[in-house]
Amino acid sequence: MARPIAETPVLKGEDAIRFDRLRLEVENLSNEQRAENTKKLNEAIKKAKEYITICI
Amino acid sequence: MKLVKLTPATELIDFDCQDEDLNSFLIDDAKGFLEKRIANTFILEDEGNIVAYFCLLNDKISRQDVTNSQWKRIKGSFPDRKQFSSYPAIKIGRFAVSSKYKGQHIGTDLMNLLKGMLNENPNYSAFRYITVDAYMSAIDFYKKNDFKLLSEKIENDHTRLMFFDMLELG
């Protein structure tokens, strides 16, 4: 039996504040930045699909 | 290579990533998790060999409301206070590459495919984050794949919780 899958704990205090800052940074990204991130991911996926076929 | 979903009929032959826990999960636990609807496992195969695998399950990132004194100190940073006490997530319960195939960029390629699958496929239920309880030795791998540490505190010697924000994508 492998170790159980850990539960994600509730963030408190400074951790909660830090998480909210990171969350807001992403929520404030421009559409152009999001499109750029997606383009980068799609290029990486295209490369991976050169040798991996998804059969799901 | 083919990426397939584990089914009750999948024959689980030898897999060794040089970590007993990750080996044991695939061979001993993955089908039980599937049958109990706890987690789905996906396997990367190469002519009958298991190259890598990962499993996915639902999760959430919860945050406790800050105290009034904390709020006074930070409210300038949050012009719009609208926020949720928890955010839905998908957890990577396990992610492993066979030692025979390490050093070939397969882990990163598989992670990109995983993000693409979760981003592109029609979703009946929404989620904001991908979470993972990363081994200390794997933290750099996840950082390279744009995951961030959930907490700066070190709670144990073995793992750190990390997350990727799907809202970074269009």
Cα gap A40→A49, rounded to integer Å: 14
Q: In which band, very low, low, confident or very high, does the pLDDT at B81 lie, cut at 50, 70 and 90?
A: very low
Hey, is the C-beta of A43 within 8 angstroms of any chain B C-beta? no
Nearest Cα to Cα of residue B98 among B145, B53, B47, B40: B53
Hey, is the C-beta of B76 within 8 angstroms of any chain A C-beta? no
pLDDT in tens, A3-23: 677 778 889 887 888 898 798
User: Do B87 and B33 contact (CB within 8 A), yes or no?
Assistant: no
Cα gap B42→B4, rounded to integer Å: 6
pLDDT in tens, B140-161: 999 989 999 988 766 666 788 8
Hey, is the C-beta of B31 within 8 angstroms of any chain A C-beta? no
Task: Look at the block and give the residue holding tokens 């699909």.
Answer: A49
The CA distance from A16 to the nearest CA of chain B, in Å, is: 6
